[in-house]
Amino acid sequence: MLNIVIFGAPGSGKGTQSERIVEKYGINHISTGDVLRAEIKNNTELGKVAKGYIDQGQLLPDNLIVDMLAAKLDSFEQSKGVIFDGFPRTIAQAEALKAMLAERGQQVTVMLDLDVPEEELMERLIKRGQESGRADDNEETIKKRLVVYHSQTAPLIDWYKQEGQYAHIHGSGRLEDITAEICAAIDKR
């Protein structure tokens, strides 16, 4: 079983690279952002709560995300593995994921840290906002998301280093080169 955490700041390319990894390794994909956006679109109770946080560039409470993730994980049958995209985003979530996998006799195979310079993140997100109309891809909310990333999410880098699961990936440059670096990091494990 492959359990891959794809990690990085907003705009680092987690979604794009996840699609490529899913195709190559035939594993399932959980994007917490995509799940939340679907909940918002369907106007569910969770969606209504999520919208408030997402529009403010803030993280949802850990318990909501962890419950949502556990339900999604249990919905996969005969899975070859999972790529976790947008989760964990806090130390508490990383601990919850570790426990959730341990209950199933598994662990994280590798955490891929897509490292992209901050100016490039900003440019990419503004462009994405113009093209896709994603409500949280506007300059003001992007700035808030980057602050949240640095304060709440970036500490996971050291956490995963301590777990011995960390892999650094150069997240800027040609898409194919980034994918190749990712595959090399996965295949080494």
For ligand ADP, the closer of residues 60 and 183 by Cβ is 60
Say which DSSP state 6 is in.
E
Tell which one of 30, 81, 87, 182 touches ligand ADP (CB under 6 A): 87
- The span from the CA of 111 to the CA of 163, in Å, is 10
Tell which one of 40, 54, 94, 108 touches ligand ADP (CB under 6 A): 54
Tell which one of 89, 108, 112, 185 touches ligand ADP (CB under 6 A): 89
Site string for ligand ADP, 121-160 (x = CB under 6 A): ---------------x--------x---------------
The full 3-state SS of 98-132, as one line of letters, equals HHHHHHCCCCCCEEEEEECCHHHHHHHHHHHHHHH
Q: Are 56 and 141 in contact (CB under 8 A)?
A: yes
Stretch that binds ligand ADP, among 17-25, 81-89, 98-106, 164-172 (CB under 6 A): 81-89
Stretch that binds ligand ADP, among 6-14, 70-78, 100-108, 169-177 (CB under 6 A): 6-14
Residue 70, number of CB atoms within 10 A of its CB? 14
73 binds ligand ADP (CB under 6 A): no
Question: Mind telling me the catalytic residues?
Answer: 14, 89, 128, 134, 145
- The span from the CA of 157 to the CA of 141, in Å, is 23
Stretch that binds ligand ADP, among 29-37, 70-78, 95-103, 159-167 (CB under 6 A): 29-37
Which candidate, 72, 153, 162, places its Cα nearest to that of 114?
A: 153
- The span from the CA of 137 to the CA of 126, in Å, is 6
For ligand ADP, the closer of residues 65 and 167 by Cβ is 65
Q: Which residues pair with 85 in a beta bridge?
A: 6, 31
60 binds ligand ADP (CB under 6 A): yes
CA–chain centroid gap for 106, Å, is 19
For ligand ADP, the closer of residues 105 and 152 by Cβ is 152
Element (H, E) at 166: strand 166-170
Q: Which residues bind ligand ADP (CB under 6 A)?
A: 10-11, 14, 32-33, 36, 53-54, 57-60, 65, 86-87, 89, 93, 136, 145
